[in-house]
Structure 1
């Protein structure tokens, strides 16, 4: 529910705020907008509500992002950028292929758990058949780096004789994403149907270990993950 006019904080002057911290302005708007889009979808999200929850006016939001669809696209790009930047920061240089893949899968699992709005926005974009993602060169470029990252780990494993040859890095990325994505997207329904809290710390840790083991067994040359 939107705050009424008496509850809303006064908006800062547009020109002054842009001059002081334009990147901070964009980040704050995108953070709030992502939550609104994740909760209500593109059609249900309201710029009035986003403005009410930020320090900035509707006019400033339009100044930076053009319109609601422009804001949605930037929020979607930002969501993908966060996960790809997190992958890039993983300290896997010098690790064995098995350890590197383990760390990548664990990161993906933990990131999706901590950023449920990312999962919801991806689900919403699939409802729109990827039509807004298709407009974004930035997202395509970001995801090229993700495939390059996993391809290097996989190639290293094949060279060392611990991963079986002939696998497609894009399909490996699909499988990692699918297991980690489902953990968030279907948690509520699985918990309700089977009477088990799939969001409890113990259950999440078990699911993460199982996800890692499934991926390692799939890529392993002999069907069993190396020690």
Structure 2
């Protein structure tokens, strides 16, 4: 017959059990939030803000709707969180490029390719941006983190342009914001209009060969522009 456990042992074991449970709850919480954000991306991208349903997002995420409201408050706050997460993701990818280690031409080449491929790999992103433009950026205006997210990107592009000018390979009169808008536009337009353009020109723009051709065209256009001397 085994001896009963002593109260001292039980008391000593209790804190360890609680400590072990806390990280598990934290992990589950992070996993649930991530699943809700991913489901929100799809729902908001496919149906827009007005057409999206919280019930559908919760079901797609495999989460209890009460948890969704607990973590994100309401539909508006969830949409704002999805929007912020989308911008944070592309900014993380840009930082991971570590462009400062490359010469100016190579750095700009890599930035153009990354931006093009990000839109291509994440078609939901173009849809989400279209939704927010339909909303006249009313949710984006209320996100305090957005300026801080984009400022480093503009600074990085400005540095690449300055290094390129000093090396004698880039023109001087290039606005980094205008340049980035052009870079983003080359990828955004292609992806967001892929279906209609494929029909109009009777070409499968989603084919590997067409995508590769378009990416090379985007890089060439940006680099040729940067090398062009103003009249």
Residues 47 and 21 of structure 1: is their aligned pair in 2 closer, same or farther, counting only changes over 3 Å? same
- Unaligned 5+ runs, structure 1: 1-14
Q: Which has the larger radius of gyration?
A: 2
Determine which of 119, 122, 126 is the counterpart of 1:115: 122
1:67 aligns to 2:112 (yes or no): no
Corresponding residue for residue 218 of structure 1? 225
User: Which is worse superposed, 138-147 or 184-193?
Assistant: 138-147
Determine which of 39, 44, 49 is the counterpart of 1:42: 49
User: Which is worse superposed, 77-86 or 146-155?
Assistant: 146-155
1:166 aligns to 2:177 (yes or no): no
Corresponding residue for residue 175 of structure 1? 182
Q: Distance in 2 between matches of 1:143 and 1:195?
A: 38
Corresponding residue for residue 162 of structure 2? 155
Residues 94 and 19 of structure 1: is their aligned pair in 2 closer, same or farther, counting only changes over 3 Å? closer
Corresponding residue for residue 14 of structure 2? none
User: Which is worse superposed, 25-34 or 206-215?
Assistant: 25-34
1:54 aligns to 2:74 (yes or no): no
Corresponding residue for residue 130 of structure 1? 137
Determine which of 153, 158, 169 is the counterpart of 1:146: 153
What TM-score results when the alignment is normalised by the length of structure 2? 0.86
SS in 2 for 1:137: coil
Equivalenced residue count is: 209
Shift of 1:208: 0.2
Q: Distance in 2 between matches of 1:149 and 1:25?
A: 34
Q: Distance in 1 between matches of 2:114 and 2:107?
A: 11
Aligned ranges for residues 76-95 of structure 1 at < 5 Å?
76-95=83-102
SS in 2 for 1:166: coil
Shift of 1:94: 2.9
What TM-score results when the alignment is normalised by the length of structure 1? 0.88
- Unaligned 5+ runs, structure 2: 1-21
Q: Distance in 2 between matches of 1:199 and 1:208?
A: 12
Q: Distance in 2 between matches of 1:221 and 1:191?
A: 31
Q: Is the Cα contact below 8 Å between 1:161 and 1:221 reproduced in 2? A: no
